[in-house]
């Protein structure tokens, strides 16, 4: 986002159009408008439900990526000279191969 290479994204919530991406993160990230952290102490049912859903999704993504990193070296130590498109293709390739291996086992 800082060097203007983030992908363009827009979405609408309750009639309001948002033009920037946002990322679900945990407490170690700095305070930025694009980082949505889990609520520290939710004070009503809706906020508590959001906090639980956000933490569940983040945990699922971290586990899935951890499983892929164990199996595929390129994901654990990505090469800095690969462009974004090539890294995206490598990621999809690893996911497909991982799923094929699980199905075969």
Same domain, 47 and 97: yes
Same domain, 51 and 32: no
Same domain, 31 and 47: no
- State the pLDDT confidence band at 4, using cuts at 50, 70 and 90: low
Residues facing 18 on adjacent strands: 11
> Given this model, what pLDDT does residue 38 score?
75
**What whole-number distance in Å separates Cα of residue 103 and Cα of residue 90?**
20
**What whole-number distance in Å separates Cα of residue 88 and Cα of residue 2?**
21
Give the distance, in angstroms, between the CA of residue 25 and the centroid of all CA atoms in the same chain: 8
| DSSP codes of every residue in 3-33 | TS-SPP--EEETTEEE-S--EEE-TTS---T
Same domain, 46 and 85: yes
Residue-number span of the structural domain to which 50 is assigned: 42-104
Structure tokens at 60: 């699922």
Phi, psi for residue 24 in degrees, rounded to 5: -80, 120
Query: What is the tens place of the pLDDT at every residue in 49-85?
Result: 888 888 888 888 888 888 888 888 777 776 776 777 8
Structure tokens at 31: 């305070």
């Amino acid at each position: 986002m800082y060097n203007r290479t983030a992908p363009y994204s827009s979405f609408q919530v309750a009639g309001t159009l948002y033009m920037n991406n946002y990322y679900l993160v945990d407490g170690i990230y700095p305070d930025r408008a694009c980082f949505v952290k889990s609520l520290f102490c939710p004070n009503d049912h809706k906020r508590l439900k959001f906090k639980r859903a956000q933490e569940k999704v983040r945990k699922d993504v971290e586990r899935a990526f951890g499983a892929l990193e164990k199996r595929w070296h390129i994901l654990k130590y990505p090469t800095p000279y690969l462009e974004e498109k090539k890294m995206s293709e490598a990621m999809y390739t690893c996911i497909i191969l991982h799923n094929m291996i699980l199905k075969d086992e």
